[in-house]
Structure 1
């Protein structure tokens, strides 16, 4: 439909310019971005019934954040390092600080409705150790990126290889026996091809970013805030909806959480790795994206938040107080951005406490143990001695 509108847009007169461009474009770019993202998210859910749950969730997560890819690529093409950092870090922190706690909250209310008792914790399945451990490696590599204060094409290659390694491991896990294609809704069945959503995202990304910037100016609000929080919220909203639908069944709450964790892995690897590639193509030469003091603070804040989330999941359980621990610092920094350094220090203290708990046996790192077992039995199985 959008392709049919293109001649009309080109011929549109001055009277239509107000709502087709500038801040007024938000009236059509926002709903169009949401619609395209919904189509991608719904259609992608089909995959979980034909392969291992881990691989299906990885593919689903990748498809769900395609709108985020489109927005980030458009910003990188404009060579706007400030907004590149804002959108990238904002999207990750939104999923960890709001998405993870939302899943527990929804599951807890659903559990109380079913049993009369509040949910105390979400217990992960053994195969979910792949996602938990898989989140650690790109976080550690990005600590190196933060230290050298730049993100180059070589970094993009390394991050992409990390993601391919993650896909290789999750593909070695078996599919779930109880998952049946008959459980699919009619809408995901009908749009399994995904082409309408992909086409929509491609056409909408540039005017979507333009409308965000113009709307920020018109509202007298920093464009940094719009790019860091509004753009990720709109492009990731369908993912929140998918996680909500799974979380309210309680039984599928671990899968909902792993869907979001898998998205975080995608963001730390493929999404981040794409940025210097598009940036270099725009410049017409190989170039690294430079990070100054503010950018490094934002990246460090994001690294520590994700690292804390990973440490909290290392015991293969996710409790109510851990959801609170993730939500409160995110909400504080969201409301008062000037407290960025204080929140960084808070994350560092919480991470230190988690490590101390593990050293004194108060918190198990079960995910590493289970991952080792899965590695030996599924990834590279060792033949029994004859």
Structure 2
């Protein structure tokens, strides 16, 4: 039996991004493990891997409104809380603290599915004062993460939006989006949908560690091609860019996406709010220890000397010399491949007809 020198030290789990389960920032109790000599013999490399657990959540509302000036949509919807993709850099990890769960392994293993999403969405869209604007699906967690295969909440939401002529945008890094081409293609024909596929590297080995349960980079490129071939307007998001880790692939990603049929492109730099700072440092120490200090140094240079700067003016693109270089490289590549901006396409809001509320007596007309 192989026993680690420190049985409680964080260690990588195959298929998971985080290596530990630290308490969220709202917890009043902190746990600290101490080895008394008995536990060491029970902990080895063959310990069970964390399993995915999904809880059916009864949502009271599903459409959220955005007032951040650096985000280019006003309405959003997320069918799931937590994300099985396990991307270690995910800025949404700290949101799990609101559920009294850890932003670490809990975020990718203890998931919430809004089982009543369509019922609540229908109610919200049918309100007399509802003002139609495109709804972004997947702004916080991925709507096509693996559990969507069974729960099918994203598909159900798309069916309702298509039924009432409501425009939407989708953001994903999973090729499962191809499953819904039968819905997306007719919606695209009516100018009701735009899809963005996130691809931040072409390195399969790096992707398997950074975003362990997302589709491999080449499959996401294939998904872009499938969407484009079906007439669905699709863009690529090189996001997030992590200096000294995946920034070298920016131009290659844009070239491959353009060849596959992407019409527009965008990018963001890595953001490390709240508990994510420690989780990301832990990941660097486990997977790229020789580059960990250099990566964090460049991140701090882009954030005014800190791990993270929440200033709306700079948080998405960073500041300083390295951030300026990324911006210049992106602009040159976009001009080369003829990319437009992600917000250039104006979806049609004139087709919307509010869904009727379910009635036990049915409808006469």
- Provide TM-score, normalisation by structure 2: 0.24
Give the number of the structure whose residues are more often strand, by fraction. Answer: 2
| Higher RCO by CA contacts (8 Å cutoff, separation 6 or greater) | 1
